[in-house]
Structure 1
């Protein structure tokens, strides 16, 4: 599912990585933190930047988040703040709540009180999370190594009806299509068969080429 409006609670390393990627994408982004200097640095680039105590329920409720699509609760070390932001986001009708956790016990608590997704990331995972939220084309993203990832995505509209040989994705994006998924995973990929719109591609790609593929997806 693709979301258009976001609130990022907590602007530590992870929160800033997510917020920056969302802002870069052109999304409507509210950022909230208790550090006045950090909030000041986001006042000119985020849609809304608010200084608030995220352990105070009244302060969170006063933010006006009922029309927000997705909340990112990014305070992995503060269980009290994470619980408050998660519970109030769900109470106020936020469609999807992603909560950062520093350990499995904290993650279990956040899931029980309403988090739709719990993650255990740092900065790189923050960028990956934002990419997944923004791009409806990426169905799945897996890290294979420090440099290589495996992504699952439906063919772009301009790819449909063309074969892999015609598209030459390896040359353009450094992509290696390893399987095609249509209910089942077909490991044999015929480079001469035209691609179908509803058949997902499983592709290995160098991380440095993701930005080029992302850019072409939204064009």
Structure 2
């Protein structure tokens, strides 16, 4: 008889505990990842460009006399920024980056649609930096985002007498705008990986090449430059 009473007690104790529990109470849920905070990282990628360096000695000469380039190549550098996440999941931030580049192309001078086999040129994009705003929507550890802001690029343009070799060049800096989109994933609470696409347009900018022999300035040129790139990066979030 005692054995039956003990067994009955053990059966009813868990049931009583369950009935005593608040039926509206929910189990605790793991906290979502929060993107707020500063970060610093490294990036690398591949870029393709469309560029023209045209002469400006007369109206219409830019389109009819000059060099058409399609530079391409790799780049790598660093970036840093700060994000703020709101309760709605919206994430806004500011970010800056700087990359060294080797994005270049060679071509022949063209006048009125005809290539000059004795006159060539090389255009190289040497560095690019940006300062941008960012906006995204947090999906726990995922963050898709869009970005846009100021872009600055340093380039070198060298002209060559074939087969005599380079005879004049210019190094200069151009400014424009950049737009992009990408996504990030927080691998841990501190380490974040990303992939991103960017477009940049630097408009038209004038410059003057100088002769290697005596430093004399040559006729003024103008450059138009746009770039597109794909990049990946990894950052440490503080």
TM-score (norm 2): 0.20
- State the structure with more CA Rg: 2
Considering fraction of residues, name the structure with more helix.
1
More strand by share: 2
Superposition TM-score, scaled by structure 1 size: 0.21
